[in-house]
Structure 1
Amino acid sequence: MPFLVLHLLVGLPVTLLLINPLSARIELRGERLDHRVIRLWSGTLMRIFGFRLRRYGTPLPGAVMFVANHVSWIDIELMHSQRMMGFVAKAEIARWPLVGWVASRGGTIYHHRGNNDSLHGVMHQMVQRLEQGLAVGVFPEGRTTRGDAIGTFHARIFQPAVLAGVPAQPVALKYGLRGNAQTIVAFGERENFVQNFLRLLGEPGRVAEVHFLEPVPATDDGRRRMAGTCRDRIIAAMAG
């Protein structure tokens, strides 16, 4: 708790100051300063929660759709600690304390589930960002899971990658040794965000692995093949 309070009282104002149009034009080792700041914020938050970060593979540069399995809100922070990307997330996250603010400033695209107009708007924003050379991140399962299996990947979310002609890079997120803490990190039955947040803060320290896997190119045979291939590669990485 003391480190979290310090991160909020000191890290939050500094992050606010450094995420601005000017810092977006400054590059350090090929990375925008505002993107580096968000990565630093997220990586520090993960360490405060006791996670030791390990990365395998290399995230693609430029325009790419990152595709990951989804068990909890902390997946977003884990991904942001490694590579800046604008996530597609449910609109409720914008109202979550702390995480909602960071997600919004990180360029999250919000979707009102069950609303077709919202979905069309999300798809349009994703194509725009990809065509601008930026990265987007998606959780094709559409919702968090219990952590004990990989759900169905909805092919429709891959359409912007097909339209923009950019690859999808599958990413396997594993918590604990060989992924043995997936169900612990996942939301418990009837557990809300605040309860999960506080529970994870009190959990023992453990490893968090990010596996950037072989990318899947966008081709004429389309989104279903991309969805199936990405899911298969993530399942293989989780089992490996």
Structure 2
Amino acid sequence: MTSTPAKPLAAETPAPRDPTWVSPDGDPPPVRIGPLGWLVLALRLPVLGLVVFGGLALHLTLRLLERPLFGLKRPVTPFVTQAVCRAAFLVLGIGFRTRGRPMQGRGAVVANHVSWLDIFAMNAPQRIYFVAKNEVAGWPGIGWLAKATGTVFIRRDPREAKAQKLVFEARLRAGHHLCFFPEGTSSDGLRILPFKPTLFAAFFDPDLAGLLSIQPVTLVYTGPPGRDPRFYAWWGTLGFGGHLVRVLAQIRQGQVEVVYHPPIPVAETPSRKAMASRCEAAVKAGLIAGLPEGSLRD
């Protein structure tokens, strides 16, 4: 196995951002919301807020006891996060299902990035911790949630590479399953963007490589009946608020499926580029199998 010097790990979480990918098919089509849709929105929004921020309050309260007793291990609060994310899909009316089994050993989970809904989809079946660029910590709302749920914040500064590696190593040794999106941005859900190999570099540190595996995961979104198949995808110039409104106002919802592929041991992979390629191929195969025939786009 050839080792690659550790570099700072950075990834985008599903949160408000400047658009970094433009679909060759154009921006998301506009969605007209009728009177009944606005009523559904008015009913769902406060319930969703109660679930998310009520769960956050419970999480923070439990963390006051958990932190001094267990430190990084967090044996209780991740279950609160899971319950909140499962409840969110019930409130939204979006079908949720999984296929395959989440990894049990140490390592990371990587997936295609489609929407802010990915936060709920990835957290609902498995206790994970997102990896995010440091700027996310300062974002209103999202930043608070990210901090509370144990997100690992990374600065893209070579001078901090050593300190970040130590943080990263400590979290992995504590048994945390870290999650990041190697595409670096969200797409329309009908294609897989190239996986950036730089994001895998930290796993090939000689002190960690023999301990870790990386599990590819495919997120397959099915749009509501009669809607554009890209309905749940968040990309281009559509803002977070606009996308949230259209999802909450949708009366008949579609579904999301989380497909777990076999974990790939780091020690059996020659380089970060090879790992990125293997993960990308597995995620793409899952999308091909999950979408209607002929739906995948290059």
- Do both proteins adopt the same fold according to a TM-score greater than 0.5, normalized to the shorter chain? yes
Deviation at 1:79, TM superposition (A): 0.6
Amino acid paired to 2:256: A
74-83 vs 15-24, greater mean Cα deviation: 15-24
Deviation at 1:111, TM superposition (A): 3.8
Structure 1 residue matching 2:132: 3-state secondary structure: strand
Specify every segment of 5 or more residues in structure 2 that has no aligned partner in the other structure, as ranges: 1-44, 290-298
Structure 1 residue matching 2:82: 3-state secondary structure: helix
Amino acid paired to 2:221: Y
**Higher RCO, 1 vs 2 (CA within 8 Å, ≥6 residues apart):** 2
Within the alignment, does 1:230 sit opposite 2:279 as a pair? yes
Matching residue of 1:207? 255
Q: What is the 5 A alignment of 1:89-238? A: 89-111=132-154, 115-117=157-159, 122-163=164-205, 164-165=208-209, 166-176=212-222, 183-203=230-250, 204-219=252-267, 221-238=270-287
Matching residue of 1:52? 95
Q: Deviations over 1:25-77 (max 9, x none)?
A: 68xxxx92211111111211232222221011111124221010001122122
Amino acid paired to 1:185: Y
With structure 1 as the length reference, what TM-score do the two structures score?
Answer: 0.84
**Pairs aligned (count):** 233
Asked if structure 2 preserves the Cα contact closer than 8 Å seen for 1:130 and 1:161, the reply is no
Asked if structure 2 preserves the Cα contact closer than 8 Å seen for 1:88 and 1:137, the reply is yes
Matching residue of 1:72? 115
228-237 vs 115-124, greater mean Cα deviation: 115-124
| Superposition RMSD in Å | 2.7
Structure 1 residue matching 2:237: 3-state secondary structure: coil
CA distance in 2, matches of 1:221, 1:187: 34
Specify every segment of 5 or more residues in structure 1 that has no aligned partner in the other structure, as ranges: none
CA distance in 2, matches of 1:123, 1:181: 42
% identical equivalent positions: 28
Amino acid paired to 1:22: E
CA distance in 2, matches of 1:82, 1:230: 20
Asked if structure 2 preserves the Cα contact closer than 8 Å seen for 1:111 and 1:119, the reply is no
